[in-house]
Structure 1
Amino acid sequence: MDIPSTSPRPSGSRRVMAEKSERGQKRTRDSENNFYQKLMRRETCTKANIGFSRNNAQAKFRNLKLQYEYDTHDPNGHKFLKLPFLKKRSRIVEIVAARDVVFALAHSGVCAAFNRETNERLCFLNISADEVIRSLFYNKNNQSLITVSVYASDSFSSLKCRTTPIEYIRRGKPDEGIPLFETESLKWPGFVEFDDVNGKVLTYSAQDRVYKVFGLKNYTLLYSISDHNVQEIKISPGIMLLIFEHEPGNVPLKILSIETGEVLKEFKHKLHRKKKVDFIEQFNEKLLVKQENENLEIVDVRNGKLTEVSQTDFMTPSAFIFLYENQLFLTFRERTVAVWNFRGELVTSFEDHLLWSPECNTNNIYITSEQDLIISYCKPPSGQRREVAPYHEPPPLGTINVSHILTGKCLAKIRADKTIEQIEEEGGNVEESLKIQQALADVTALFYDEDRNEIFTGNRQGLVHVWSN
């Protein structure tokens, strides 16, 4: 029985799978929907007064304006890039801000770094002619950026990791980075997963069928897991869930300490025979299991208590985000977001937060560290006038919505819903308005810098826009 991993991955971890295909420019679903990253840092919730939090958020986001535009495309600025697709414009798939440096990764595999203070491009992070960067991870433990790449010389088949101090990148010297995990064979279906919350790195060498856990601070090997019956590993704060190949009528599971690899609990969960498993997820002491056309089962692994949620009330989502300190989780399904508790009760439905992508592209979603706000690229309300730039076919035009997770209220919105005629009648700046419209057209990546209170968006043209007050 195939037990798939719901994407994006729960927790603050980010998994990058090696490619089965030899096309270096193709991105897998897990790397495309990285979770995290960037997106989903789980920090302790302050549980502050909701009203104060809501008012504070409204004030922070009320006056965000388009300030700058960065361009990742420069076929002449990085002359040693030899692969043809690296020289073409392509959509932005990841944005990461680390202190005063902004990183933008294009789908082609080109990654550029920009200085937020001077708004100049610092350098490209591709340090060889055949390098295709697949994913980024900011390691706040040592103020460095980890890049995960594939290479034409290896038929794009193996993942290679490199850590580069932010200070080196600021100086325009990305080639002074240090290779990581060189002893690991990360060919398909191998992977590397960075877990910010636990401060760990999980690798899987398909050649040896061995999982290894490293410390994120200094990349020291902590322990290995070499059981060939392990089918999947899910990471939660403090623990790992090992899912084994199913047996008739059940699936064996183990919960391990992520610090030591010690087995904390070993048990089996009953399954409906001949029913596809939609997902198995572990959140602290709660185990969530959903099979096709069956109720959601929430099991307390401490005492075996079972809670069932009707399949008509809880339909299989395309993605989860877990708010551990709040003991809540978000589900994403067909452009809608909902908040649930671990009693299987719907806590929040969002009033104005219809996601742009029906496939839940979490590159366009950001959860704040206090887990109180969700920022997403959304579709405008039905009937709203869309339009406006002087193209023969106006590009899709969305909005950036900021909503309160516990109430579902939309607190702020960046939009451009006025026609040129309306702008002229009101005496507005048409040229500036057109720039805003173009920046909100077909956004493919979004990141919120909480320290600077700035939103970064990227689009299909390889442009990055800075929204600041």
Structure 2
Amino acid sequence: MSLSLVFRNLEERFSNRDRAYSLSNAPERFRNIGLQEEYDPHDPKGHCPMTLPILKKRSKIVDIVAAHDIVFPLAHSGVCAAFSRETNQRICFLNLSPDEVIRSLFYNKNNDSLIVASVYASDNFSSLKCRSTRIEDIQRGKPDAGFALFESESLKWPGFVEFDDVNGKVLTYSALNNIYKVFDLKNYTMLYSIADENVQEIKFSPGIMLLIFRRFATHVPIKILSIEDGTVLKSFNHLLHKNKKVDFIEQFNEKLLVKQEDENLQILDVRNAELTEVSRTDFMTPSAFVFLHENRLFLTFRNRTVAVWNSRGEHVTSFEDHLLWLPDCNTSNVHITRNCVIRYTEESYRYAGSINITNILTGKCLARIQATSNNPKDENSGSSSPFPGRMEKRPYSALEDITALFYNEERNEIYTEQQQIPSEKIRYMIL
């Protein structure tokens, strides 16, 4: 498995304001992209304090987070390293104890810190523990300078913690007493709690929180709360088709999206109860959603295709350029900006795909990063770098079997991970 960093070597003629991603300069920004560096976060010499066998094995990268000049790849095994883009070297590992398995990462831009959620072998991997560490401390190689979060909460499975970047909130659920709590992401102060054993699911939308309760045969109770103080803004029952499974219920701004098995998509305007239906043959249940609240659009992922819809349930566009690499793909190898989708797609090459940058509104391909050869054997293997964690440059391999992709808008860099078979090496590559 490998993690790759992809970027174009731009001349320093752009100000920070100009570096924000825009449609007009997309082709130029990605025109001369090419492989620059590779890194291997695996720790064969045992410098990382790991004792669990699973932590010592190579595994694929399941998440990539970037903050300033640091890239954090999280492996399926639970190992997470921090790499500096300035020195091109590994700074440290984030695992602080021999039995820590990191499950998720979240960059908290509200206070410039990284939140790590972990489980531990000493606890039979049954409870989530969270901590916050300033990016500045990680840059100094001090990952142990952080502090624990939500220590008063019992996060034993099926308890959880969820981060809402849009509203700047954290939601925790304690299965021990069926209590949900909302915290402020700026200072982790507890704002309010929700104690109701009938709540089945909670979802966020800008300014509001959707509470979905245990369904009855013919309806499901719904509440919409203010995200700031938990005040109930609206409470109602949404009618359902009896004995039909609910595929999903989603809140999209003022619209409630409800889909039942083999039924039409229902779009309810919660302000005036106006109901719109979209034929089940036009809108089939997707495997994943991405909501673009500012554009009032949402993306659906189904099989290997991406489609764009508006809040009225109208199909805005389909992407013209190629299929997603993996069937029933989630969003791990897709990155969404306000105007564009950056995704790994099927190509005409036998061994590698391409990274396509596509206009969300038109479906037109703005730029494409392709392999320079359709034969991996054409590349020079080179030799290992003397720098810790660094490897030789191989342009073609950076586009093989990518399973995770992240676009750093601040630095105009794309970071990707690919699955290498049979070697299963983890690499970092800068394109």
Q: Could you say whether these structures have the same fold, taking a TM-score greater than 0.5 normalized by the shorter chain as the test?
A: yes
Moved more, 450-459 or 213-222: 450-459
- Counterparts of 1:314-463 in structure 2, within 5 Å, are 314-368=283-337, 371-380=338-347, 384-387=348-351, 397-416=352-371, 418-420=373-375, 430-431=380-381, 435-460=394-419, 461-463=425-427
SS at match of 2:47: coil
Q: Deviations over 1:181-234 (max 9, x none)?
A: 011111111110001110000000001100000000000000000011111101
Say whether the 8 Å CA contact 1:353–1:410 is kept in structure 2: no
Q: 1:114 to 1:288 in 2, by over 3 A?
A: same
Shift of 1:431: 5.0
Identity %: 68
Tell me how far 1:79 sits from its aligned partner: 4.6
Q: Secondary structure at the match of 1:66?
A: coil
Asked if the contact 1:318–1:360 (Cα under 8 Å) also holds between the matched residues in 2, the reply is: yes
1:272 aligned onto 2:241: yes
C-alpha deviation, 1:80, in angstroms: 2.4
- Where do 1:30-429 residues align within 5 Å? 53-368=22-337, 371-380=338-347, 384-387=348-351, 397-416=352-371, 418-420=373-375
Cα deviation, 1:399-435, whole Å, max 9, x if unaligned, reads 11111111101111112163459x97xxxx7558981
| Counterpart position of 1:21 | none
The equivalent of 1:10 in structure 2 is none
Answer whether contact 1:106 1:462 (CA < 8 A) is retained. Answer: no
How many residue pairs align between the two structures? Answer: 397
Deviation at 1:353, TM superposition (A): 4.1
How far apart, in 2, do the equivalents of 1:229 and 1:411 lie? Answer: 47
CA offsets per residue over residues 267-296 of structure 1, 9 Å max, x none?
010000000000000111100000000000
* Deviation, structure 1 residue 173: 1.0
Over 3 Å counting, the alpha-carbon distance change for 1:306 and 1:124 in structure 2 is: same
CA contact under 8 A between 2:160 and 2:174: conserved in structure 1? Answer: yes
AA matched with 1:373: C
C-alpha displacement at 1:77, in angstroms?
4.1
Asked whether 1:465 is paired with 2:429, we answer: yes
Structure 2 gap ranges (5+): 1-20, 383-391, 420-424
- Structure 1 distance, partners of 2:345, 2:169, is 33
Deviation string, structure 1 residues 131-190 (Cα, Å, up to 9, x no partner):
000110000111110001000000011111010001111111111110100111111111
Q: TM-score, normalised by structure 2?
A: 0.89
> For residues 48 and 103 of structure 2, what CA distance do their matches in structure 1 show?
20
Q: Which runs of 5+ in 1 are unaligned?
A: 1-51, 388-396
RMSD: 1.8
C-alpha separation between the residues in 1 aligned to 2:334 and 2:155? 28
Q: Stretches of 4+ moved more than 3 A in 1?
A: 52-55, 429-434
Q: Which digits, 9 at most, give the CA deviation of each residue in 1:280-322, with x for residues without a partner? A: 0011110000000000000101111010000000000111111
Q: Tell me, in whole angstroms, the C-alpha distance in 2 between the residues paired with 1:292 and 1:440.
A: 37
